[in-house]
């Protein structure tokens, strides 16, 4: 038998935890633990909110940096360093007033990749871009069959010809 230091009741040893300096019975120890938790709950919540706010700010900055480094993988595309080599994309973005979405292509209507006038650019999906080129090749094929376009085997270039 032992005496609890809080409730001053004498109880059997099985009712106590093995702490030698604080001889509290299990009931008093549980009550003290609940009281401690309740007293410090507001403090823990305030600490957690502060920690969460700081970490969310860090996470948002990390995501922003990641999107700038990985524009193809992010939903909103930043102007990439490779876009310096493709100014037609910047012309299209300025005309649209927004970044190009993932999967959007810019087609040169007259097939001249150096002609970046807005009138010569067409923004389309990847499938639309493929369709534009497929229709062009079909048209070229029919013009070749009609004799309007010929291939010079000596020079290796296509030329306009006269039908017949």
For residues 11 and 25, is the Cβ–Cβ distance under 8 A? yes
pLDDT at 83: 58
Alpha helix ranges (H) inside 70-125: 87-96
**55-64 pLDDT per residue, tens:** 888 888 887 7
Rounded Cα distance, 66 and 15, in Å: 57
pLDDT at 145: 86
pTM, entire model: 0.45
CA angle 109, 110, 116 (to 5 degrees): 75
Q: Position of tokens 């910047």?
A: 90
Which residues of the chain fall below pLDDT 50? Answer: 76, 78, 81
**33-80 pLDDT per residue, tens:** 888 888 888 888 888 888 888 888 888 888 778 777 776 655 545 455
């Amino acid at each position: 038998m032992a005496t609890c230091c809080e409730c001053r009741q004498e109880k059997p040893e099985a009712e106590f935890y093995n702490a030698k300096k604080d001889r509290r019975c299990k009931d008093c120890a549980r009550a003290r633990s609940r009281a401690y938790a309740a007293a410090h709950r507001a403090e823990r919540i305030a600490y957690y909110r502060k920690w969460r706010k700081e970490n969310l700010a860090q996470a948002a900055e990390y995501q922003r940096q990641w999107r700038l480094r990985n524009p193809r993988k992010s939903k909103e595309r930043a102007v990439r360093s490779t876009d310096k080599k493709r100014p037609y994309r910047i012309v299209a973005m300025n005309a649209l007033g927004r970044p190009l979405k993932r999967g959007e292509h810019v087609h040169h209507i007259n097939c001249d990749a150096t002609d970046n006038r807005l009138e010569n650019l067409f923004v389309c999906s990847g499938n639309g871009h493929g369709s534009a080129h497929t229709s062009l090749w079909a048209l070229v094929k029919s013009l070749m069959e009609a004799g309007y376009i010929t291939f010079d085997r000596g020079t290796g270039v296509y030329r306009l010809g006269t039908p017949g």
